Amino acid sequence: MCGCNAHQGNADRVVERDPSALTLRVEDMTCGHCAGTIKKAIETGLPGTSVEADPASKLVSVRGSTDLTSIKALVTEAGYTPTVA
């Protein structure tokens, strides 16, 4: 979980859910720093993926991979708790 104390970040920015992407809910993603950490973890762990993480909606959308098990493991290893959205 984030300890950056910058939880105001993009609170007003809401991204609509992409039906063509694999989407996870990450309730403990609270700010832009958290979103960046999750994005980097997935894109580094699964090269060729494109990730959009939105702390306002608590949604993480992944394109380029359908390996839910690996994506959830990468988010968990980054310190967050993913669930299927």
pLDDT at 9 over 50: no
pLDDT of 31: 97
The model's pTM is: 0.82
What does the buried/exposed string (b/e) look like for 9-47 if buried means 16 or more CB atoms within 10 Å of the residue's CB?
A: beeeeeeeeeeebbbbebeebbbbbbbebbbebbbebbe
**pLDDT of 12-65, one tens digit each?**
445 566 677 999 999 999 999 999 999 999 999 999 999 999 999 999 999 999
CATH 3.30.360.10 corresponds to the domain 22-84: no
